[in-house]
Amino acid sequence: MDNQGTDWCIYDIYKVNSLQGDTPLSSVHVYNGRVYAPDAYGDVNMMPILRSMVDDPQERNIKTLQYRNSQSMGLTQSTYAFNSYFQIVDSSASEEVMYSILYDTRGLTAREAGAATTNWGVGSPYVANTFPDHYVADGQYVSFMYRWPSNYRATDTYTLGNTYCYDVRALPEDPSYSVIENRIIDSSLTGQSFRYSGPCDWQEWAGNAGNIRWAQFWIEDEKHTKTYITPRLYPKWCDEPGTMYLYYVNGMGGIDFVRSTYASYVTLTTEREKYETNADIDDRFEFGEETYYQRRWNQYVFKTDIVSDSDSYNMADIVNTRWAWIYIPGDQVPWRSVKITNTSAKVKQRRNEQQKIYSYEFQLEDSIKNKIV
């Protein structure tokens, strides 16, 4: 910024609400300020104030389980669904700079995360899921997110689809053999961040083929180059008794899940305030204390299945999530928003676990404590 020899820089921040590529067409003034920036001070870091402005619609969409109650999976995509755009105007020098801000809590610089500047070109898109569990039960909620750092490719056309593998038996006595085919889901995607989410339907994912073995999702550009946005996902037709799911927003803004099939449990917790009444020993059916305020909530111990070294870092990163949900199939209230109460988690590896297999344990509690009296 230009301080015009006064050591103070004056600037305005605008929230962009109309774009053509990466060029702002219209915006709304949201902030005016000045910053002490003498010549010897160096560059001014505007990121803290811009991060504080990443709210609607990006934050709202990221912490929403989109299409959870629908009959099938759906697509969420728009210019501002998972990106926020701001324009900073240096009033002293009459210069303008455009910023694309993404929700990302990995603790990386923009360049380390793959974003770019005017000098370094446009940043590359990336998958925002880590897929710690590759098994998906039929009807289970899943979410896949793919993020473009900017709106530069908004006029390009992409196709969303999946590759699936299934077994075919020509005759009962013949050995089965595999067939791999592709299925188009949506051929009208643009070069903007999107989320594909909802209840899994393995029959649909497999193009109505039987004996499905796996499915893998991709996007394809206009030159028919495929980019896979998931690993191979495998069908799970039923859950073991007592299975619990933990869904959480990871550091890149994608919603991941991990299931627990053993040793997880729920504890009912209560908090109450009381007052003493005038009842005495002559009134055996009255109460000497009455509750005038009471809240109740659940606490959970969630133990994962066995974790591999490659998934360990992403699993430990669950303690950093801002938004999480517990899902207990068949429960009276199957979905509940929760918070992770662990403050740290060791990144386990077989070499530091004496070559033993290992899992993770997380302490959770309801994020909403219900007032019941």
Q: What is the pLDDT along the chain (373 residues), one digit of tens a residue?
A: 666 667 888 889 999 999 988 888 999 999 998 888 777 566 777 888 888 888 778 999 999 999 998 999 999 999 999 999 999 998 777 778 888 888 888 888 777 777 765 555 677 899 999 998 899 999 999 999 999 988 989 999 999 999 999 987 655 556 567 789 999 999 999 999 999 999 999 999 999 888 899 999 999 999 999 999 999 999 998 888 888 999 999 999 999 999 887 656 778 888 888 888 888 888 888 888 888 888 888 888 888 777 767 677 677 788 888 999 999 988 888 999 999 887 666 666 555 544 456 677 888 999 988 888 7
Range of the domain at 290: 239-373
Number of domains in the chain: 1
pTM: 0.87
Q: pLDDT value at position 81?
A: 94
365 - beta bridge partners?
Answer: 299, 339
Q: Is residue 268 part of a domain?
A: yes
Tell me if 193 is assigned to some domain. Answer: no
Per the domain annotation, does 95 fall within a domain? no
**Does residue 309 form part of some domain?**
yes
Is 302 a domain residue? Answer: yes
Report how far apart, in Å, the C-alpha atoms of 171 and of each of 88, 91, 177, 208, 285 are.
69, 78, 11, 20, 78
In a domain, 92, yes or no: no
Candidates 196, 197, 215; CA nearest to 206 is: 215
Predicted confidence at residue 106, as pLDDT, reads: 84
Q: Is 111 strand, coil or helix?
A: coil
pLDDT of residue 148: 93
Q: Under a CB-based contact definition with an 8 Å cutoff, are residues 211 and 166 in contact?
A: yes
Is residue 42 assigned to a domain?
no
Q: Are 300 and 312 in contact (CB under 8 A)?
A: no
